[in-house]
């Protein structure tokens, strides 16, 4: 399946719903004070930029103590070494203990709303709940000055074409939930600004050993662009609460214990979200960071969590779809459409609680939910919890479907051959090499499953199956899953890419019978596999899936839970932890080191150590072609024979890098997204050998566009060098200035008009001319990016192939489209 890429068009005039007065109506023409102004007033007149800390030294020490220190008690002990004030006086500190430092931070520094301790009683037991006021958290996020230039306050419709036939979905304000909710709210309260609340919860382990756990709840708002929300450093998420982590071990009946745990969860969430009932319905005055005052309606739009958390939130039994009404025995039927659960029917069942336990339990069972007492979403305005559950890339795809797929492949192909192929893959910037194979990995993370998926198809293309079965269906099934995973993660979707997402899902269902024939599976009633059906509707309803990926909140566990725990004294840790404050595909820019790795490498060394035997000849041909571009290849070859190169060494670089700029960064910072290694073998002092590495690259031959394979060719980069003016003037006329960076490359065959039929990857082979690799010198600026090549292994991987020599030993390769979304969306 070929996937078309849609570059981000200039923002077209969006279509708005026509409520009067308009949504996002400004309540006052007078602007409220910004957060910085309020902070300045609180500090009073001072010239100390580190206030409320006495000095830069005190600020740095306080920062170290809270973010890098060994713990509260240890820090207090440090300050009391050899007397009560020796260390404090020597450092000029105004605090002499962690307690005083905490008081300074909590009382003087601006921050997120304070935590409060509450008691929740369930099943006759009292539990501690640490939480923040959710309305104050909404105000803090909406009013953050850093976010003010980017806030979305009205829904918009974006299109990829002028005729408005291809709808675009990306941030939440471009999707249907915001539109429909805006319309509902406007009917009762014209001039509303919708504030979508995104909630997420997930229990996490605090210690490597033992059973210390935390149950954090996070929140953010959909008004903040997803490109900001997904960066923990931008603090667009708020740690909203720590839920009780009791296992209720005193309740011996397992069914009763599960019901009690469910009731405890919803009791806590009901307490936390109770302020949203009135605020969501009637609205609250709320100021953005630039001081503009609006009437905001905070409404729960999304609940982000893994499958067990989704079941807990929706009160649905294990093994069932948390959002739809399909029977759990039919989850493997790809053709059966899953309809959303009937919220009205469920709310009617919840209203029968006062009729007694038996009646209530029966009514809930008939409605398709467990008999939880007052789910937290029962009285939330404009919230349908079954439409709020988000598709989950991390747990559903990588820790779910990809994990299953790898296990199936290990079983039907054999671990030994699968691992042998993994060990023979060439390196690449975007590929992790598993030199011991993948069969015996323990506690495999989502990131590792992601890395494995990047080469999974290439190592099964022509593998030998038992009983002489053709690998065609296996290749198609694997390709379909990988297609789905890649397309699902697009940072921008259109109606067409969503259709391609559905095509990929159905392609798997058409070919999944191969796993039955191989004896790997009997049925496919897997909730996570069924969940793939809901991805397109999730995108159209709530925006692209990077709006609500659990990977972001998994990362927050480190900052807001685990690091917070390690900075406490491990006694009453939750009360201490609460005091801490915690797609778009961009253009790539070539980035080279300011100075060469080696100032002068002799041609003889380039020929031997770098594997560039024709460097001098290629340089002569390049000089002729640069001097007279009108010459034919034959004429260039003839003229090059008479070129004298009066030097025998050039400056050499060992890395080509590509970077992108983040438009939402506080300060423009380029991040390295790709690199090409060009380095010879290195022998360390102890005798250990680091093998040579010469990466392959995608080269624009002159006619390549932003998408598609036409005009591009693959080459292995052997040398990256420059011709300084002192050298250039000896071989070129003064009117000609050579490119700043040049590369000696060895070519692979060109792309065919279409990729291979069954797996849709392009096949390329080494170009041999007169028994040698065909090479030439090109400007480095012609190199667009790195590209990973997967060897054509045949039925069995040859023993003499190794990761460091396979590019030299193997004659035929497949261009890998899975290394990252950039190559998938632009080349294929």
Q: What is the mean pLDDT of the chain?
A: 86
State the CB neighbour count (10 A cutoff) for residue 691.
13
Q: How far is CA 255 from CA 261, 266, 355, 360, in A?
A: 10, 17, 22, 16
The DSSP code sequence of 445-510 is: -HHHHHHHHTTTTTTTTTPPPGGG--SHHHHHHHHHHHHHHHHHT-SSEEHHHHHHHHHHHHHHHH
Task: Check residue 528 and give its pLDDT.
Answer: 94
More confident residue, 237 or 100: 237
Evaluated on CA atoms 230, 233, 236, 241, the torsion sign reads: positive
Both structure tokens of 603 = 């041609």
Measured CA to CA, the distance from residue 427 to residue 411 in angstroms comes to 26
pLDDT in tens, 677-709: 999 999 988 888 999 999 999 999 988 888 888
The answer, yes or no, to whether residue 727 has pLDDT greater than 60, is yes
**Which residues 6+ apart lie within 8 Å of 538 measured at CB?**
390, 391, 545
pLDDT-derived band at 722 (thresholds 50, 70, 90) equals very high
The gap between the terminal CA atoms of the chain, to the nearest Å, is: 9
The full set of domain ranges for the chain reads 1-44+112-314+383-390+550-579, 53-108, 316-371, 403-542, 589-787
The answer to whether 471 and 453 have CB atoms below 8 angstroms apart is no
Evaluated on CA atoms 29, 34, 37, 42, the torsion sign reads: positive
Task: Check residue 219 and give its pLDDT.
Answer: 95
The answer, yes or no, to whether residue 463 has pLDDT greater than 70, is yes
Both structure tokens of 825 = 């969306």
Q: Which helix (H) or strand (E) holds 62?
A: helix 56-67
pLDDT in tens, 427-443: 999 999 999 999 999 88
Cis bond upstream, residue 316 (ω within 30): no
More confident residue, 132 or 3: 132
pLDDT in tens, 520-578: 999 999 999 999 999 999 999 999 998 887 765 555 544 444 444 344 444 444 343 34
| CA-based radius of gyration for the chain | 31
Per-residue pLDDT averaged across 112-129, rounded?
A: 85
pLDDT in tens, 259-279: 889 999 999 999 999 999 999
Evaluated on CA atoms 819, 820, 821, 823, the torsion sign reads: negative
pLDDT-derived band at 211 (thresholds 50, 70, 90) equals low
Measured CA to CA, the distance from residue 177 to residue 386 in angstroms comes to 13
Beta bridge partners of 195: 298
């Amino acid at each position: 399946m070929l996937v078309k890429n849609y570059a981000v068009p200039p923002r077209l005039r969006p279509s708005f719903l026509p409520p009067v007065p308009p949504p996002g109506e400004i309540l006052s023409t007078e602007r409220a004070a910004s957060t910085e102004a309020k902070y300045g007033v609180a500090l009073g007149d001072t010239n100390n930029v580190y206030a409320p800390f006495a000095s830069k030294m005190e600020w740095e020490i306080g920062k170290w103590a809270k973010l890098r220190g060994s713990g509260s008690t240890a820090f207090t002990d440090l300050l009391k070494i050899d007397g009560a004030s020796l260390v404090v006086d020597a450092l000029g500190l105004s605090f002499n203990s962690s307690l005083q430092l905490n008081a300074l931070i909590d009382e003087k520094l601006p921050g997120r709303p304070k935590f409060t301790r509450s008691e929740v009683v369930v099943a006759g037991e009292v539990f501690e709940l640490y939480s923040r006021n959710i309305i104050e958290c909404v105000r803090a996020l909406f009013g953050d000055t850093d976010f003010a230039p980017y806030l979305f306050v009205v829904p918009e419709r974006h299109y990829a074409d002028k005729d408005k036939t291809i709808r675009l979905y990306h941030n939440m304000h471009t999707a249907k939930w915001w539109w429909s909710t805006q319309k509902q709210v406007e009917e009762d309260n014209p001039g509303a600004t919708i504030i979508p609340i995104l909630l997420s919860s997930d229990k996490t382990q605090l210690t490597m050993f033992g059973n210390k756990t935390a149950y954090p709840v996070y929140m953010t708002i959909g008004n903040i662009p997803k490109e900001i929300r997904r960066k923990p450093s931008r603090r667009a998420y708020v740690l909203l609460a720590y839920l009780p982590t009791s296992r209720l071990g005193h309740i011996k009946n397992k069914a009763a214990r599960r019901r009690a745990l469910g009731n405890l969860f919803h009791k806590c969430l009901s307490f936390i979200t109770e302020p949203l009932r009135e605020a969501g319905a009637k609205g609250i005055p709320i100021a953005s960071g630039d001081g503009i005052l609006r009437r905001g309606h905070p409404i729960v739009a999304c609940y982000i969590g893994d499958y067990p958390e989704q079941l807990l939130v929706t009160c649905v039994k294990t093994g069932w779809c948390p959002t739809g009404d399909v029977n759990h025995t039919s989850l493997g039927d790809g053709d059966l459409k899953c309809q959303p659960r009937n919220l009205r029917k469920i709310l009617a069942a919840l209203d029968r609680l006062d009729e007694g336990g038996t009646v209530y339990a029966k009514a809930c069972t008939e409605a398709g939910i467990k008999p939880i007492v007052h789910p937290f979403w029962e009285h939330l305005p404009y919230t349908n919890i079954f439409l709020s559950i988000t598709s989950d890339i991390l747990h559903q795809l990588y820790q779910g479907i990809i994990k299953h797929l790898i296990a199936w492949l290990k079983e039907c192909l054999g671990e030994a051959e699968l691992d042998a192929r993994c060990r023979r893959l060439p390196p690449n910037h975007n590929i992790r090499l598993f030199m011991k194979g993948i069969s015996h990995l323990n506690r495999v993370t989502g990131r590792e499953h992601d890395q494995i998926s990047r080469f999974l198809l290439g190592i099964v293309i022509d593998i030998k199956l038992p009983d002489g079965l053709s690998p065609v269906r296996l290749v198609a099934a694997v390709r379909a899953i990988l297609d789905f995973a890649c397309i699902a993660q697009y940072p921008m979707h259109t109606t067409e890419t969503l259709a391609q997402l559905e095509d990929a899902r159905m392609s798997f269902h058409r070919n999944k019978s191969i796993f039955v024939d191989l004896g790997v599976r009997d049925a496919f009633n897997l909730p996570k596999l069924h969940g793939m059906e809901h991805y397109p509707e999730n995108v159209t309803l709530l925006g692209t899936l990077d709006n609500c990926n659990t990977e972001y909140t998994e990362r927050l566990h480190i900052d807001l839970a685990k690091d917070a725990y390690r900075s406490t004294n491990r006694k009453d840790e939750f009360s201490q932890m609460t005091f801490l404050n915690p797609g778009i595909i961009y253009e790539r820019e070539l980035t080279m080191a300011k100075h060469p790795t080696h100032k002068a490498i002799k041609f003889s060394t380039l020929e031997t150590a770098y594997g560039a035997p024709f460097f001098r000849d290629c340089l002569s041909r390049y000089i002729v072609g640069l001097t007279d571009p009108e010459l034919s290849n034959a004429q260039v070859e003839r003229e090059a024979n008479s070129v004298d190169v009066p030097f025998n060494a050039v400056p050499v670089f060992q890395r080509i890098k590509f970077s992108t700029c983040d438009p939402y960064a506080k300060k423009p910072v380029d991040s390295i997204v790709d690199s090409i290694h060009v380095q010879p073998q290195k022998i360390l002092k102890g005798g250990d050998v680091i093998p040579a590495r010469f990466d392959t690259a995608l080269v624009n031959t002159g006619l390549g566009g932003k998408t598609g394979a036409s005009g591009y060719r693959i080459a292995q980069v052997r040398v990256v060098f420059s011709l300084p003016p002192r050298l250039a003037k000896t071989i070129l006329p003064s009117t000609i200035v050579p490119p700043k960076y040049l590369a000696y490359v060895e070519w692979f065959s060109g792309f065919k008009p279409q990729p291979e039929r069954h797996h849709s990857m392009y096949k390329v082979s080494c170009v041999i001319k007169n028994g040698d690799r065909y090479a030439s010198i090109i400007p480095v600026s012609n190199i667009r990016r790195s590209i990973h090549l997967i060897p054509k292994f045949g039925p069995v991987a040859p023993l003499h192939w190794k990761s460091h020599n396979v590019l030299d030993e193997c004659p035929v390769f497949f261009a890998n489209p899975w290394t990252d979304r950039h190559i998938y969306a632009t080349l294929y």
